[in-house]
Amino acid sequence: MDLPNVTEQSPPTPALSPSASQQFCAGALILLTLLASLGMSGQPSVEEGGKIRVVTSIPDLADITGRIGGELVSVESLAKGREDPHGVPIKPSFVPKLNQAHVLVVLGLQAEHAWLPALIDVARNRAILPGGSGYIDCAVKIKPKQIPRSLLRREGDVHPLGNPHFNLDPVYMKVIAETIAEGLARVYPAGKPVFQANLKRFHAHLDGKLERWLKMAEPLRGLKFVSYHQDTIYFAERFGLEEVAQIEIRPGIEPTQGHLVWLVDRMKEQKVKLVLREPHFGEQLPNWVAEQTGATVAKFLIMVGGNPDVKTYEDLIEFNLHSILQAVQVRTGQARR
């Protein structure tokens, strides 16, 4: 069927004619050049008398940065202590914080790879890009443990650079504090004496604590345990505990039935009587595993703030030691009965 040719009745009158779009392009180019000539900075600078705005990925680093920076810094952590540090939700409210930050402190070794790069990408702040002046990677002076031999996804969510949970070793926390002090001095050289003095005080303080903790941990030497996620190695090696296996089949991969059967056998064979449960994982599986093997479950925090009363780094280590000691005492008490 023939239809009337309507185009003849109403010839198109383009609103954006070729010349108009050319003008638009030219305008855009001019704008770009202008912006370029204004300097490709896109990064905030510390004002005279103002505070250094620091954003950290996890609360432990916020705690330490606060002590090193003292009055000179204002610190905020993106992750909360009770979260899984590898699975923090990508919230748009983090973007303005990163955008206005002078310094970003990360744990490193790709601990935050699932969420932080996406946020840095859109934060429009050059200073906190990896390699930028305000980017402090706490892992630079760390000797990582558990570096995977092969980078294959069949190994789960492998951390190619090694296990990133080194914040649980107080000795490494001293190294972290040093890295942070150096990083802050890089951003704000005038504050260097303050940072150095605070660092020295913190080191002395932690040394004293460490001595106490090692004494506390003495009865735990050689104690075998199973944890949910592969996040205990630094803590275990520092305090002489022995990590046997994990409930997760691979890092970040939930266990299958077959793995749990294997795990229970392994625990029985090695006489493992302790299951560490990180609070962001469910209670169900650790309890089941403990029930099958006659082991005790102990809460094990991996970050400051994992429990409401754990507010500082010292609290964190003490909480974990107490929790394990308590579990061991409960069990020996039962055995005596």
Q: Which stretch binds other proteins (CB under 8 A): 53-61, 112-120, 292-300, 322-330?
A: 112-120
Positions 133 through 152 that interact with other proteins (CB under 8 A): 143-150
Q: Which stretch binds other proteins (CB under 8 A): 69-77, 78-86, 313-321, 323-331?
A: 78-86
For residue 167, what is the DSSP state? G
Q: Which stretch binds other proteins (CB under 8 A): 64-72, 122-130, 286-294, 311-319?
A: 122-130
CA atoms within 13 A on the CB side of 331: 19
Q: What HEC string does 40-87 produce?
A: CCCCCCCCCCCCEEEEECCHHHHHHHHHHHHHHEEEEECCCCCCCCCC
Provide the minimum distance between the beta carbon of 127 and other proteins in the complex, in angstroms, as a whole number.
10
For residue 253, what is the DSSP state? B
- The residue within the footprint of other proteins, chosen from 70, 74, 133, 155 (CB under 8 A), is 155
CA distances from 45 to 71, 102, 127, 193 (A): 17, 7, 9, 20
- Write phi, then psi, for 116 (nearest 5 degrees): -70, -40
Decide if residue 7 touches other proteins (CB under 8 A): yes
Provide the minimum distance between the beta carbon of 118 and other proteins in the complex, in angstroms, as a whole number.
5
What's the N-to-C CA distance of the chain in angstroms? 98
Per the document, the length of the chain is 337
Toward other proteins, which CB reaches closer, 190 or 282? 282
Provide the minimum distance between the beta carbon of 88 and other proteins in the complex, in angstroms, as a whole number.
8
Decide if residue 204 touches other proteins (CB under 8 A): no
Which amino acid is residue 252, in one-letter code? G
Toward other proteins, which CB reaches closer, 119 or 184? 119
Residue 19 burial class via C-beta count within 10 angstroms: exposed 0-12, middle 13-18, buried 19 and up: exposed
Instruction: Quote the crossing angle between the two packed helices 257-270 and 284-293, to the nearest 10°.
Output: 40
Decide if residue 335 touches other proteins (CB under 8 A): no
Provide the minimum distance between the beta carbon of 253 and other proteins in the complex, in angstroms, as a whole number.
5
Toward other proteins, which CB reaches closer, 260 or 325? 260
Provide the minimum distance between the beta carbon of 183 and other proteins in the complex, in angstroms, as a whole number.
19
CA angle 265, 321, 307 (to 5 degrees): 95
Positions 236 through 255 that interact with other proteins (CB under 8 A): 237-238, 240, 242-243, 245-246, 249-250, 252-254
Positions 87 through 106 that interact with other proteins (CB under 8 A): 87, 89-93, 95-96, 99-100
- The residue within the footprint of other proteins, chosen from 26, 30, 118, 190 (CB under 8 A), is 118
Toward other proteins, which CB reaches closer, 236 or 298? 236
Q: Tokens 């202008």 appear where?
A: 34
Decide if residue 115 touches other proteins (CB under 8 A): yes
